[in-house]
Structure 1
Amino acid sequence: MKEVFVLNEEDFLKIAVKENGELVECIVEERSTDPQIGEIYKGRIKNILPSINSIFIDIGLEKEAYMYYSDELKRLAVKKGQDILVEVLKEPLGNKGAKVTHKASIAGKYAVLTLGSEGIKLSKRIASLEARQRLTTLIKPPRDVEVLFRTDAEEAESEEILKDLDSLLKKKEQLERKLNYSTHLGKIDSNSLMVRFFSELDNIKTTIVCDDKEQVKIIEEFIKSKDNISMKYYDGHISLFDYYGIEKEILKLRHKKVNLESGGYIVIDKTEAMYVIDVNSGKHTKARDFNRTIFETNMEAAKEIGRQIKLRNLSGIIVVDFIDMRDDRQRPIVMKTLKKSLESDKGNTKIYPFTELDLVQISRRRKGKSIYEYLEESCKKCKSNGYILKLSYLENLIKNEILRAYRENSINDFYIELDVSYKENVKEDLVGFLTRIDGLDKEIYLNFIDNLEGYNLEPLIFASQKENYQSYKIKTV
């Protein structure tokens, strides 16, 4: 049984997935004017630098996008001043613009079109020989576009697939018209997270819960022909994620250490260039010999690593440092377990063989923000060398607790503790802080203390409690 929760906030669209009651995936997409992964832009080539194999493209924004100057582009003889369709592969970072590709993709229910390529491909999950033969001969390969048939095409009627393809080809023509006849440089198709996620839903029995009526309509278009999926609209007063306990589970993901049942553990570290996952045997002492302990810990870690990669939405380069295995026969078994743990990631990951040092490299395609980007911001006290929870994230959690206490018990007075790192920002915009936590019409007592992870909130019911905290009462006038 799978449950999908879709939370629509002012700045974020969040999707959480549970399987058999356990949180297995969390994807966050920020609403921003900056280029987002999957968006398609009309751009104009501003510069070609063969020395660094790069092309820089004006996409109508302050920062120019860039892409790799491949042999294929060299053969196509692209030139400065040429208009081009590009899809965002990587969001802007620092002074760097968005990384893009000229091979823009258009996703449908049964197929994906890729511009700038040719041929017909099939999802690796389509196992039936009969289905593979049917799909490869269903249409003539179109010019200048590659057609990839998705897993759902295996069970679909040919008429349904052709209808989907016709819709995608019309969309392709619209994009090409905008490229050829519009003078405007900029975004011409969103290809949003919502579209991509629900295009890839499998055939498991699934319940979708969403808190936004407009998003419900969009989702229903994707699932209307799937009898294994049901839809619910949530209209509660507190956040959907808070109501279902998801926000607390997300908060736990900030911790680097993940314990394994055997007594071992893994540590997930983020560097500027990659994520590093270290496997440790810890207190694992159940096995009778050392080699067995190593093998069992690595096996358990391999299962958990796949789960954590999807759960934290890690992307880019991920290096896993397994415990050194003296028995070479253990490596293929551990590798098979790791691959299986990422099997449901549907083509987003590529896993490379063990190195001599028992390191495994994983590359994962980015989709939305990682949990760290959503939860954390640079710490001013640490001079940007450390990270703290975003104040906006804490404000949202505090607001949900206040709303719950007020709705359930008519409580109007609250004592709140925050780390001293937030003091300056809160004091600069005290009214804004109170507004965001739904505290303007309530009595709020606020205290800043050192080394507090997250926040503490205490509903004040008795007069004696208020007297104890009188010095922390917020006065906005």
Structure 2
Amino acid sequence: MSEEILMNITPMESRVALVENGVLQEIYVERARSRGIVGNIYKGKVVRVLPGMQAAFVDIGLERAAFIHASEIAPRQEKNSEDTQERPIYELVHEGQSLVVQVTKDPLGTKGARLTTHISIPARYLVHMPKNNHVGISLRIEDVEERERLRQLVESCLEGQSESPSEYSADPGGFILRTAAEGIGDAEVRADILFLRRLWDTIEENIKDSKAPATVYEDLPLHLRTMRDLVNPNIEKIRIDSRETFEKVSKFVKKLVPEIDGRVEYYPGERPIFDLFGVEDEINKALSRKVQLKSGGYLILDQTEAMTTIDVNTGAFVGHRNLEETIFKTNLEAAVAIARQLRLRNLGGIIIIDFIDMEDSEHQRQVQRAFEKAMEQDHAKTNFTGVSELGLVEMTRKRTRESLENVLCESCPTCEGRGTLKTAETVCYEIFREILRAVRAYDGDSYMVLASEAVIDRLLDEESNNVADLEEFIQKPIRFQVEPIYTQEQFDVVLV
């Protein structure tokens, strides 16, 4: 599988696209005014403790207070405690207390950021956990011998600290080997450990010198995070349309990812890079509720605050053999398409998928296997709970940042996010009721109705007989005026 990374950089906004075999799979957007804060470390101040929720609100200097659960708080002066979540929150923190925390989830909608005191700092191959002494390995490295080799490599490097005390702090902390660490040698591990320990020493100094609330460490900008987190041996090209960013990325790559140095390219073309590779069109399609399948079937995706639902339909696909075969093929195609849409739209939380009902149990198993295999490429952590009694596939996908729709869109001011409008007929009848209320409450010579063109047209056409009957009933004339700026649901009844 060939992969490419495309970077579209402007002073206001950075966008990164991950393209696999010519098809857009993931899109990352970071705006200068609203950079994501996942990974940032803050010295915060506890502003409210909630015993009933086993949680606390922490002021970290943002517009909304952030949220931390008791299970995410490491007890003071106790390392690797396993019973934190069983202890009452008021034993762990108190109002006014300073707390060093890290953001694990960006503010989403009306919710504040999610925090933890279990600090972790990523580098190219290792993740450093200053308050832990554990050495772990990514589960995506499946080879048993390789896992053992890497574990021994890290442990031997850590043992070397006593022989080179100038290179390491007294307490080395814990480390997790990332998926990218597969196949690396002693030099890479030592370089990462040294970098992470020096970085943590700097952060500790910032913590001592800062007064809460304060930022003590900010994660890398999007273009450098991409090089740290997304680059793997399958990446063939990294194309960047900004000369300045290209130079920054090149320096970063030479220092930390030298094996892909020759794959970073500056794109100087006049045509926008996202237009050239069809990314812009795919982004616009990813904002649509409906996703067309090549066979003629389609998906309907609905995002709500509680969950995301995905419905599979055969649409125009009629198949060639029988109904069961048609349904099976549609579901197989949908399984791959859904996996891509989850990554592309960055949908998280609870996800319910309603595949078309299949009578053959073997077909059900094959569709589920195809879906799970397609999800293996996903960088986000996913969990499948199987098929429910109603035949729905239930799953969760870890959400650490806003979905693509939430980043690029806002609720429609006309329908206020409902996705539907009252019909012109409905609004006409509301106007009739409002006129009757006005007649009972006020005494006027006549009444003026201000409304949208569609509503006024209906009042003067299909509803003209009803208007005449109403005028006769109230013994007052009713006049109408189109207001171009009114939405279909807006209207006013005025005494004149």
Where on the TM-score scale, by shorter chain, does this alignment land: which range? Answer: 0.7 to 0.9
Aligned to 1:131: 146
Are the equivalent residues in 2 in contact too, given 1:34–1:92 (CA < 8 A)?
no
- Match of residue 395 from structure 1: none
Over 3 Å counting, the alpha-carbon distance change for 1:146 and 1:227 in structure 2 is same
Counterparts of residues 62-101 of structure 1 (less than 5 Å): 62-70=63-71, 72=84, 75=87, 77-80=91-94, 81-101=96-116
Question: Who is 1:107 aligned against?
Answer: 122
What is the letter of the counterpart of residue 110 of structure 1?
A: Y
Within 5 Å, which residues of 2 pair with 1:172-321?
172-192=200-220, 193-200=222-229, 201-224=231-254, 225-227=258-260, 230-236=263-269, 239-286=272-319, 288-321=321-354
Q: 1:336 aligns with which of 356, 369, 394?
A: 369
> In the TM superposition, what is the alpha-carbon distance from 1:94 to its structure 2 partner?
4.9
1:348 to 367, 371, 381: 381
Amino acid across the alignment from 1:357: L
Alpha-carbon distance between aligned partners in 2 of 1:234 and 1:40, rounded to the nearest angstrom: 34
Structure 1 match to 2:47: 46
2:395 matches 1:362: yes
Q: Could you tell me how far 1:236 is from its partner in structure 2?
A: 4.5
Change (3 A) 1:347 1:221: farther
Q: Name 2:167's counterpart in structure 1.
A: none
Paired with 2:85 and 2:98, the residues of 1 have a C-alpha distance of: 14
Q: Residues 126 and 178 of structure 2 are in contact (CA less than 8 Å); yes or no, is this contact kept in structure 1? A: yes
**1:148 partnered with 2:176:** yes
Would you say the 8 A contact 2:286–2:345 is kept in 1? yes
TM-superposed deviation, 1:131? 1.8
1:210–1:216 contact (8 Å) kept in structure 2: yes
Judged with a 3 Å threshold, the aligned counterparts in structure 2 of structure 1 residues 50 and 287 are, in CA distance, closer, same or farther, namely farther
The alpha-carbon distance between structure 1 residues 312 and 252, as it changes in their structure 2 partners (threshold 3 A), is: same
Q: What count of residue pairs does the alignment treat as equivalent?
A: 392
CA gap 1:345/1:325 in 2 versus in 1, 3 angstroms: same
- Of 152, 158, 167, the residue aligned with 2:186 is 158
CA distance in 1, matches of 2:235, 2:36: 34
8 Å CA contact 2:297–2:316 kept in 1: the answer is yes
Amino acid of the structure 1 residue aligned with 2:14:
L
Calculate the TM-score normalised by the size of structure 1: 0.74
- Following TM superposition, by how much is the alpha carbon of 1:56 offset from its aligned partner in structure 2, in angstroms? 0.8
Instruction: Give the TM-score of the pair, scaled to structure 2.
Output: 0.71
Q: 1:97: how far off?
A: 2.1
* 1:203 and 1:228 in contact (8 A); partners too: no
* Structure 1 SS opposite 2:305: coil
What is the rounded CA distance, in whole Å, between the counterparts of 1:22 and 1:95 in structure 2? 34
Aligned mates of 1:32, 1:146 — CA distance in 2? 34
- For residue 203 of structure 1, report the CA deviation from its aligned partner: 0.7
Among all aligned residue pairs of Structure 1 and Structure 2, give the percentage whose two residues are the same amino acid: 35
Deviates more, 1:303-312 or 1:66-75: 66-75
Unaligned runs of 5+ in 2: 72-82, 159-169, 421-452, 454-483, 488-496
TM-superposed deviation, 1:338: 1.1
Alpha-carbon displacement from aligned partner over 1:382-429 (angstroms, at most 9, x marks no partner): 245349xxxxxxxxxxxxxxxxxxxxxxxxxxxxxxxx9xxxxxxxxx
Change (3 A) 1:116 1:46: farther
2:356 is matched with: 323
Given that 2:43 and 2:210 are in contact with CA atoms closer than 8 Å, whether structure 1 keeps it comes out as no
SS at match of 1:249: helix
Paired AA for residue 194 in structure 1: H
Contact 2:98/2:212 (8 A) holds in 1: no
> Separation in 2 of the partners of 1:302 and 1:211?
34
1:353 alignment partner, SS class: strand
User: Which piece of structure 1 moves more, 167-176 or 113-122?
Assistant: 113-122
Letter in 1 for 2:237: T
Q: Secondary structure in 2 aligned to 1:170?
A: helix
Structure of greater Rg = 2
Q: CA deviation at 1:65?
A: 0.6
Deviation sequence 1:342-387 (CA, Å, 0-9, x none): 2122353333322122222332233554321243222222245349
Unpaired runs of 5+ residues, structure 1, are 388-419, 421-447, 452-477
What is the CA RMSD across the aligned residues, in angstroms?
A: 3.0
**Per-residue CA shift, 1:433-470, capped at 9, x if unaligned?**
xxxxxxxxxxxxxxx9999xxxxxxxxxxxxxxxxxxx
The Cα shift of 1:309 comes to: 1.2
Report the 3-state secondary structure (helix = DSSP H, G, I; strand = E; otherwise coil) of the residue aligned with 1:329: helix
Of 93-102 and 307-316, deviating more is: 93-102
C-alpha displacement of 1:59: 0.5
Match of 1:119 in 2: 134
Contact 2:125 2:177 in 1 (8 A): yes
Deviates most, 168-177 or 148-157: 168-177
Q: CA deviation at 1:235?
A: 3.8
For 1:318, the aligned partner's letter is I
